[in-house]
Structure 1
Amino acid sequence: MDAPAVSGIYRIRNTVNGKVYIGSAVNIRRRFRDHLRELHAGTHCNPRLQKSWAKHGEQAFCFEVVQIVEQKELLTSIETEHIATGRLTDPCRGYNICSTGRSALGLKRSDETRQKMSRWQIGRKMSDEARRKMTLSRIGRKLKPDHVAKLRAKRQSPEARAKISEALRKRPPPSEETRRKLSESNKGKKRSEESRRLMAEKAKGNRSALGHRLSDEAKAAISESQRKLSNHQVAEIIEKRLSGRTFKSLVEEYGCSVSTIRTAIRNAKEGRYGYSLPDPGN
């Protein structure tokens, strides 16, 4: 079910029993999505409609535009006429509870009211079932070209991006505890073949990921920076570190990166990959 982004009168019709709910909105598409979200979550403000939705299921309902109204100030009066004409407040005929249309169009709430509304939202959590239903409702839904164009138009300016980038660079690295938790949360996760394919397609053309080919010079530089140190060199490095030599001077002397030296020292302490600590007797 989908609807156009127009101002007007809409109805939600039950195809099983013929009952109808009439409403009005400045943006019918957005209002329809609000209805759908609340009905899936079981939190709709209209108990008649919510009960019927729970009984018959989403497949029994259709969303229809009744009348396009360009003059927004006439929405509530036209909505009221439709409710009265169809006698939709009668539970046998419709789902409307109020005999008159209601709208918040032009309503200005005080700061105190806004704060109360904000506090009321704090801590609200959706149930797992409601989340699952919302996810299912979004599967396969594609954004329309005009919506995509609007989102692209809202992209941040180069200056804003530069500020964000600078703020991220100054952000301290994650703690060891955070790293451990991230590692634990990702253990055992397996992506489907479809997910892998989509990730690969998305990464194509990304200079920092798949699709970017390194030059021979860059490959040689990376290879040189990651070359393995011999056991003898590791022993020398450990002795020089114990005597007070800095990592910077060792990097210049042995022509490798700091991470390579740190890794070699750690492996020597743990006795891995053929590395070993120097014999104190020599």
Structure 2
Amino acid sequence: MLPSFSGIYQVTNVRNGKVYIGSARDIRARQYVHLCQLRSGKHCNTHLLKAYRRYGEGSFQWEVLEMAHGDEALIAREQHWIDVRRAADRRHGYNIVDIARRVFSMTGRRHTEAARAKITASQIGVTRAVGEATGNCRLNTESVKDIRGLLAAGHSFQQVAQVMGVTKATIQAIANGRTWSHVTGKTEDIGRFDVPSKRVLRGAEIGVAKLQREQVDAIRIKLSLGALGKHLAVEYGLSTSQISSIRTGKSWAT
């Protein structure tokens, strides 16, 4: 792992020489997040994710290019290395846009006119995938209609979640219109579904449980060694509240 410096880092694909340039206040923590997202197949940089899937983790070399402190310095030096290494040129790198963009808040600061123009240009023609078009979801249009039909019949979020093999939070998001709002209508014939009773199930007894006892033990060990809950949530495909419940013993109590 890289050291816990504030600065600029580079990820190099040793198979083809392409690079990704990034900056972070804590490079080691940022590397950990990158790896968790790549391993889980949920990284926001699709170019880097495709290369990771094609070449494998062992084909990527991580290195610190330079140390830098303060948000402005990080942006400026990241921009320098993006330009020098041509990291945003698809023939040479994996950066999505050719300007440095920070994940921390821009409150009280403004991009330059040139930077705003580049951001706007990078978004032209980009359409955000929704629903099953994301290629990363367990539901489809018909199953969402089934969910709405089951809810309309009076079944609880937890019961519907168990039937559909997803989390209660997923069902709530659909019911509240936060997700899948582009799908309309509901299934009228829900008699084919075997809806469980409202008895509360726990741990591996739940049909939608994502974890086995060995994974829970591994999470607890990593937490005891100082791993952050948000990083473990990404690694195991859970929410931070679920990690917190495991930490406190509210779920999977020993």
Taking structure 1 as the reference length, the TM-score comes to 0.39
Higher relative contact order (CA 8 A, sep 6+): 2
Q: Which has the higher helix share?
A: 1
Please tell me whether Structure 1 or Structure 2 has the larger radius of gyration of its CA atoms: 1
Taking structure 2 as the reference length, the TM-score comes to 0.43
